[in-house]
Amino acid sequence: MNFEILFVLCALIGMIAALIWDKMRPGMVLFSVVVLFLCAGIISPKELLEGFSNKGMITVALLFLVSEGVRQSGALAQIINRVLPQGKTTVFKAQLRMLPSIAFISAFLNNTPVVVIFAPIIKRWAKSVQLPATKFLIPLSFVTILGGICTLIGTSTNLVVHGMMMDAGYRGLSMFELSLIGVPVTIAGILYLFLVSKRLLPDEREKDEVVEDETEMAENLHPVEVVLGPRFPGINKRLSEFDFRRHYGVEVKEIKRNGRNLTKNMDRVVLNEGDTLVVLADDSFVAAWGESSVFLMIANGKDAASQSNHKKRTFVLILLALMIIGATIGELPWTQERFPNIKMDMFFFAAVTAVVMAWTNIFPARKYTKYISWDILITIACAFGISKAMVNSGLADMIANFIIELSHSHGPYVLLAILYIITNLITELITNNAAAALAFPLALSISNQLGVDPMPFFIVICIAASAGFSTPIGYQTNLIVQGIGNYKFTDFVRVGLPLNILVFLISVFLIPHIWPFEMN
């Protein structure tokens, strides 16, 4: 083991520890690591900057704007209100209508705004039909994850792998190529949720009624649920150390964490990302902070007032459909021959759609930067530099050799399963994009040493890096529904771990049949 391999290995171990420790945002952790590699001469300035100009990364940024346009149009709230059954129903009947529709929507939109809009609406609806909201909120998060793996744009992880493939000289992924594995996995996942939701998901947990009683006495104030985001300035501070009234004009009445409702001795509680707080606020709080990245979600017990009209919602849905259809047709050989000077891929159509939405005021053009999650973009951009460092140092080849020796004479099927498990474990511990960055050079090295087509390994990374069901920290949407649904950590393990295993078995079995190991 030479110095470069040892240096990169130690830096990656430190990176994983820092991400688990969670004292710094993932983007800055990864950026610190690639700067270390730059200082050690393992990557060049050009290699460090390549990720920041990668088409896949910039496409993710554009899709943030497109998702925001759809969110602000009010189209999503309109859709879910029509999907939810009114009147007397059962958990199964309601899920039968909800889950396939939500999976379809999340195949084309960023998962987080889908959950942010749907979760409070579903919670209020469940109360109105006298069903426990806990039977629907974890399934909501899980089906958005499952739907996201069905298309190229369903999750940023797919676009990261797509960008890395093109950087490595491969053709990349087409718009619906992942549907070949994503759709069977999603169908199996939805059927699983139908079967286990009633038995494995908890009923509503008893809740302290103090907040409601005090609310009745407070004039013009009402309870509002907020989920603390990564940019909340009081993260890792005690509640007593952060003045909510001065910052936001609200008073904290309850903290929900890991299935517990904390109403006493709250001043001693250290605030964490993903905590759900019940605060007493007036209507100005939601108006001022409803679109802020300080909070992942704000729910005030009312439908979000949409300023859009029917024509605007229709226009937005037409734009979204044209973007998807255009990117699909643009990949056809006939289109490429007809327009040789224009690369009509997802980047092209996402850029056009975002610009049209800005100029037609679908989202406020002056505020466009606030709708982009910059930390995710920096994480993605730095992921390319980390992947390059693993290749340049020889670490990727060394780990690939170790894995191959470990499963000597078992063939590529076992190696595919091992790569899936490694990627999935990393994504449960840190972030999906960082997991893809660490797994990609391993996939490339393993396939090169075996002399097989790397495509099955690339597809496995897409699935494994997104399939974060077993913990609330594995995926941001899990974190959002944990608080609003008052779930315990063990609820995710009990329902999510069998789903993780199911997705693993289906993926490892089907992927080699759809994308054979044999080189073309």
Question: CA angle 55-24-263, nearest 5°?
Answer: 120
CATH number of the domain within which 290 lies: 3.30.70.1450
Q: What is the pLDDT of residues 99-136, one digit of tens each?
A: 999 999 999 998 888 998 899 999 989 989 999 999 99
Q: Is residue 292 part of a domain?
A: yes
CA distance 497 to 225: 28
Q: Is 502 exposed, middle or buried (0-12, 13-18, 19+ CB in 10 A)?
A: middle
Beta bridge partners of 223: 280
Beta bridge partners of 255: 262, 277
Q: Are 137 and 487 in contact (CB under 8 A)?
A: yes
Q: What is the pLDDT of residue 480?
A: 87
Q: What is the pLDDT of residues 460-488, one digit of tens each?
A: 999 999 998 998 877 888 888 988 888 98
Q: What is the pLDDT of residue 340?
A: 82
Beta bridge partners of 226: 277, 298
Taking every pair of Cα atoms in the chain, the longest distance, rounded to a whole number of angstroms, is: 73
Mean pLDDT of 191-206: 88
Q: Is residue 260 part of a domain?
A: yes
CA distance 280 to 300: 10
Q: Is residue 408 part of a domain?
A: no
State pTM to two decimals: 0.87
CA distance 344 to 25: 34
Look at 47-51, 184-188, 294-298 and tell me which has the smallest mean pLDDT: 294-298
CA distance 381 to 19: 16
Domain limits at 269?
A: 210-299
Residue with tokens 């491969």: 170
Encoding tokens for residue 131? 């069903």
User: What residues contact residue 302 under an 8 Å CB cut-off, 6+ apart?
Assistant: none
Q: Is residue 234 part of a domain?
A: yes
Beta-sheet pairing, 260-262 with 276-281:
unpaired
pLDDT band per the 50, 70, 90 thresholds, residue 232: confident
Is the predicted pLDDT of residue 342 greater than 90, yes or no? no
Q: Is residue 278 part of a domain?
A: yes
CA distance 193 to 197: 5
Q: Is 38 exposed, middle or buried (0-12, 13-18, 19+ CB in 10 A)?
A: middle
Beta bridge partners of 261: 256
Is the predicted pLDDT of residue 303 greater than 70, yes or no? no
Encoding tokens for residue 328? 């699909």
pLDDT band per the 50, 70, 90 thresholds, residue 304: low
CA distance 118 to 134: 14
Q: Are 155 and 182 in contact (CB under 8 A)?
A: no
CA distance 214 to 262: 16
With left for phi above 0 and alpha for psi between -120 and 50, is residue 303 left, alpha or beta? beta
Q: What is the pLDDT of residue 215?
A: 44
Q: Is residue 459 part of a domain?
A: no
Q: What is the pLDDT of residues 142-193, one digit of tens each?
A: 999 999 999 999 998 999 999 999 988 898 899 999 999 999 999 999 999 9
Q: Is residue 228 part of a domain?
A: yes
Q: Is residue 248 part of a domain?
A: yes
CA distance 142 to 149: 11
Count of the separate structural domains present in the chain: 1
Residue 381 vs residues 27, 360, 391: alpha-carbon distances, Å: 9, 30, 16
User: What residues contact residue 377 under an 8 Å CB cut-off, 6+ apart?
Assistant: 27, 57, 60, 61
Q: Are 469 and 426 in contact (CB under 8 A)?
A: no
Mean pLDDT of 191-209: 82
Beta bridge partners of 277: 226, 255
Look at 28-32, 40-44, 191-195, 339-343 and tell me which has the smallest mean pLDDT: 339-343
Mean pLDDT of 20-45: 90
Q: Are 302 and 256 in contact (CB under 8 A)?
A: no
Encoding tokens for residue 292? 């802020």
